Structure 1
Amino acid sequence: MTIDARTNALSDPPSGHPAGGDARPDGVPGQSRMAWLDALRGIAVLLVLYWHLSTVLLVHVENRVGQWFFAGYAGVALFFLVSGYVIPASLERRGDVRGFWIGRIFRLYPMYLVTIALLAVLAVTGRNPVPTYAATHPARGSAAYLSMLPTLLRVPEVVGVAWTLAYEMAFYLLVSGLFALRLHRFSGPVALGFAGAALAVGAALPVAASDGSHRKAVFVAVAVWLLALAAMLTGRAGLARVGAVAGGVLALALLAANQQTVHRWDGLLIPALMFTGTVIYRCHHKQISRWWVAVVPVVVLAVWTVESIRELHAAGPGWVRYWPRTPITVGVAGALFAAGFLLRNRRMPRWLARVGVVSYSVYLLHLLLFTAAAPVLRAAATLPLPVQALCLAAAAGCAVGVSWVTWRLVELPGQRWGKALAGRAPVT
């Protein structure tokens, strides 16, 4: 048995991931300046764990709560806000796209590849079916998975929850392109531009200009991504600038041309949300006027609500009454981020910050772990609700515990190698 990743809830995918970076803009004595951001990641990944476990445990509770609040997507939105806040800071602190991309590669890929390997083991042992697309189109699928862009190439994910990595990768490309063009401080107009485009033309955007069934389109997109990345990694200013701009154009094209079948505005509103996090960072550091913070989040939330209402109207009259769940869900994510920001100079709960530190491993591994434990979880689902709640907490705790091991053995070494490589002078 596999546990459904439930990709498609609000916008549809309901899980999230903590791929965001290394900036250390705030903090308190005796605690990492990233503690408040780690605590937010911890909250986000706990929301994701609850969401996916609630397919088996506390189902009746989730059936009621889920009508008005999507816990998993709130976690997603919170992760995206955190990434929007820290990623541009990480790039601009380094001052060069080469060091930034080396850091990103060694931050994301080691655990990503380990997760795919574990998924292959589960498939070989019969605990999880081989993804159909990966089995029938191995070369095309491998190319898409290598780029972390399969969702935007209309290639089904081999790791069900990894759809968020495609949006993260696109965001990195966009940020790099803006940095290369010296437009990186225009975060407010960029966020409003994405939101305005979603409102104006979101429903008219193509579902898949480069559908995963079209071999050439996938390979061309991945080839452009590879060439852009290679150019940025050379460390040569002119070539890196060309690569960054090319990567940004590719990301923009994929975001605009490969919408989900139902939520055609996702490809525009998700980057709008991420750039909202960037607006908060820039206002905090007095790089732009404070009025952007008053305007951008409100506009993005309003557009998201309008698009959700449009979608519900299209689904039928009976669905319209659920329109509040979109502003509630995204609003909760925004409120959590705001609370974390306001409390950034306070001491964060150590356990929560530690969960945030390992949240990338938790995000990638938790469905695999829950799939392996499916018989136990099914048995627990027959128990009284209070016992189910304890079982859910125990399952989440086990996922965090296993992820701490992979963080120590996989993520930390990868980050160290990345820092060492980024510190070396580029070959010229």
Structure 2
Amino acid sequence: MGWLDALRGVAALLVAIHHFGLIHLIPYGGTINREFDLGIYAVMLFFLVSGYIVPASLERRGDVRGFWIGRIFRIYPLLVVVVTAALLILPRAHSAVPDAAHQTPVRFAVANGLLLHEMLNVPSALGAMWTLCYEMVFYFFVGALFVQNRHRLSAPIAVGFAALALLLGGTVSPAMITTDDGSTRNTVAATAVVMVAGLVCVLTGRDTLVRIGSLVLGALGAVLLFLNARSTFFESMTILATMFAGTVIHRIERGRISRRWGLACCGSVLLCGVLVGYLYNHGDAVYRTWTTSWVGFSLPYAAAWATFGLGMLLRNRSFPRVLTWLGAISYSVYVVHLPVLQAVHWLLPDDAFPHHGPGRFGPALVFLAAVLALSHLTYRLVELPGQNLGRRLLKSLNAPSARSGT
């Protein structure tokens, strides 16, 4: 799926460019940034890709335990290595990890370790990790739907989330459970117990326990998403609508859903995503969506859909190897770029490059070169070994059941 690799790679690189502020170095960069937020564009493109491929992966496996083992060993090894390295190597003044890691270390570690910190009023260990919380909730929902044999209902679910975003986007308050330090501490502890219990049930591989564990995780995801997400309600609902719409696109392509119904669903999600920006992304909301205007939210959202559609149109063509390589290392790019950004600010003095003329792009070029080189290394040395370890673990877990069936 070279087209998906290309989309992932471009999206990850744009996130890095956005966080570096490269757009401000070009003419009218400030205006462009106000009217077209690169971060929203990139992450919404990511969410479409995840929605398209993640449920398909579970359905192809037909094994919820295998799905979770694959996800855990895909996500966590790199995060553990990069966050640990950032804490050990970067000085406090240039840390990519927020002060909360030192102020409330246990709470910070638990919330980020669960990858639900965005839903628990705890800062991200790395700023870009907030999107992984929505990925995690999406996994909860996908698993719960699968064990109930309702995973083919992605179209009405996508429309439902979009409708909630449109109808209630400006009325539901964020972070309603974690209103103070005590409630945050208790919510983190309770979430840890519930999530670990649910995953343990799933990882037993026993049908009844897998079903119970998946439903527990689904319920946990629903409570946190609807009642305690950090961001605005309209953005949270739009993200889930977008991911399930990505699943709808996959079902259309495979002929598992009516093309007319599927396209109507996707059109509804796209329209709602644009409208909620216009209706609700004003005032305090822009501080939670990290945008500057309603156009800055709605226009890149629509553009992410257009880009995904273009990728689909070109899916049967060959893509340049550099794009498929960038797609392969995209997760590493996404995770390592913020520590590299802080390292560049730390190690490069202000007068290392001229502030005017072509030389002003020097720090950005150093940053991008370092990100790509380090990402290639972490992909080879951390990501691939982690995934291989997960495959070996799953194979060893499945071996006794295979022997008992012979």
TM-score, reference length from structure 2: 0.90
Question: 2:228 is aligned with what amino acid?
Answer: N
Shift of 1:315: 6.1
Taking the aligned partners of 1:291 and 1:396, their CA distance within structure 2 comes to: 43
Tell me whether 1:353 sits opposite 2:324 in the alignment.
yes
**The 10-residue stretch of structure 1 (117-126 or 270-279) with the greater mean CA deviation from structure 2:** 117-126
Question: 2:105 is aligned with what amino acid?
Answer: P
Tell me whether 1:388 sits opposite 2:349 in the alignment.
no
Shift of 1:119: 1.9
Q: Which has the higher helix share?
A: 2
- In the other structure, the counterpart of 2:213 is 243
- In the other structure, the counterpart of 2:227 is 257
The alpha-carbon distance between structure 1 residues 61 and 424, as it changes in their structure 2 partners (threshold 3 A), is farther
Question: 1:228 is aligned with what amino acid?
Answer: G
Question: 2:296 is aligned with what amino acid?
Answer: R
Question: 1:402 is aligned with what amino acid?
Answer: L
Taking the aligned partners of 2:22 and 2:190, their CA distance within structure 1 comes to: 38
Shift of 1:252: 1.2
Shift of 1:325: 3.2
- 150, 153, 157: which one aligns with 1:183: 150
Taking the aligned partners of 1:413 and 1:83, their CA distance within structure 2 comes to: 22
Tell me whether 1:343 sits opposite 2:314 in the alignment.
yes
- In the other structure, the counterpart of 1:201 is 168
Shift of 1:309: 2.0
Taking the aligned partners of 2:86 and 2:28, their CA distance within structure 1 comes to: 30
Shift of 1:378: 4.5
Taking the aligned partners of 1:201 and 1:100, their CA distance within structure 2 comes to: 33
**The 10-residue stretch of structure 1 (404-413 or 58-67) with the greater mean CA deviation from structure 2:** 58-67
- In the other structure, the counterpart of 1:64 is 31
- In the other structure, the counterpart of 2:193 is 223
Question: 2:209 is aligned with what amino acid?
Answer: L
Shift of 1:206: 3.2
Query: Is contact 2:198–2:213 with CA below 8 Å preserved after alignment?
Result: yes
Taking the aligned partners of 2:353 and 2:39, their CA distance within structure 1 comes to: 20
Structure 1 vs Structure 2: percent identity of aligned residues?
38
- In the other structure, the counterpart of 1:4 is none
Taking the aligned partners of 2:10 and 2:90, their CA distance within structure 1 comes to: 31
- 227, 233, 241: which one aligns with 1:272: 241
Shift of 1:400: 0.9
1:351-404 CA distance string (max 9 Å, x none):
011011011111111010011111538546743354434653442132111110
The 3-state SS of whatever aligns with 1:194 is helix
**The 10-residue stretch of structure 1 (278-287 or 53-62) with the greater mean CA deviation from structure 2:** 53-62
The alpha-carbon distance between structure 1 residues 183 and 381, as it changes in their structure 2 partners (threshold 3 A), is farther
- 93, 97, 117: which one aligns with 1:150: 117
- 70, 76, 79: which one aligns with 1:109: 76
The alpha-carbon distance between structure 1 residues 255 and 60, as it changes in their structure 2 partners (threshold 3 A), is farther
- 321, 329, 335: which one aligns with 1:364: 335
1:246-302 CA distance string (max 9 Å, x none):
1111111111112336x2322211111111110100110011111233222322222
Question: 2:264 is aligned with what amino acid?
Answer: V
Question: 1:74 is aligned with what amino acid?
Answer: Y
- 397, 403, 410: which one aligns with 2:375: 403
Query: Is contact 2:23–2:30 with CA below 8 Å preserved after alignment?
Result: no
Matches within 5 A, 1:42-61: 42-54=9-21, 58=25, 61=28
1:76-110 CA distance string (max 9 Å, x none):
11111110011001101110100000000100000
The 3-state SS of whatever aligns with 1:161 is helix
Shift of 1:136: 2.2
The 3-state SS of whatever aligns with 1:425 is helix
Question: 2:210 is aligned with what amino acid?
Answer: A
Question: 2:280 is aligned with what amino acid?
Answer: E
The 4+ residue runs of structure 1 with deviation greater than 6 A are none
Question: 1:80 is aligned with what amino acid?
Answer: F
The alpha-carbon distance between structure 1 residues 294 and 386, as it changes in their structure 2 partners (threshold 3 A), is farther
Taking the aligned partners of 2:188 and 2:113, their CA distance within structure 1 comes to: 12
- In the other structure, the counterpart of 1:7 is none
1:177-232 CA distance string (max 9 Å, x none):
11011110111001011111122223222321331732111111121111111111
The 3-state SS of whatever aligns with 1:131 is coil
Query: Is contact 2:278–2:298 with CA below 8 Å preserved after alignment?
Result: no
**The 10-residue stretch of structure 1 (154-163 or 376-385) with the greater mean CA deviation from structure 2:** 376-385
Taking the aligned partners of 1:123 and 1:210, their CA distance within structure 2 comes to: 34
**The 10-residue stretch of structure 1 (306-315 or 415-424) with the greater mean CA deviation from structure 2:** 306-315
Taking the aligned partners of 2:379 and 2:163, their CA distance within structure 1 comes to: 39
Shift of 1:131: 2.5
Question: 1:156 is aligned with what amino acid?
Answer: P
Shift of 1:339: 1.2
Shift of 1:114: 0.7
Taking the aligned partners of 2:3 and 2:72, their CA distance within structure 1 comes to: 24
Query: Is contact 2:161–2:237 with CA below 8 Å preserved after alignment?
Result: yes
Taking the aligned partners of 1:36 and 1:127, their CA distance within structure 2 comes to: 36
**C-alpha RMSD over aligned residues:** 2.4
Shift of 1:132: 2.9
Query: Is contact 1:58–1:381 with CA below 8 Å preserved after alignment?
Result: no
Taking the aligned partners of 2:89 and 2:7, their CA distance within structure 1 comes to: 31
**The 10-residue stretch of structure 1 (369-378 or 280-289) with the greater mean CA deviation from structure 2:** 369-378
**The 10-residue stretch of structure 1 (390-399 or 146-155) with the greater mean CA deviation from structure 2:** 390-399
- In the other structure, the counterpart of 1:289 is 258
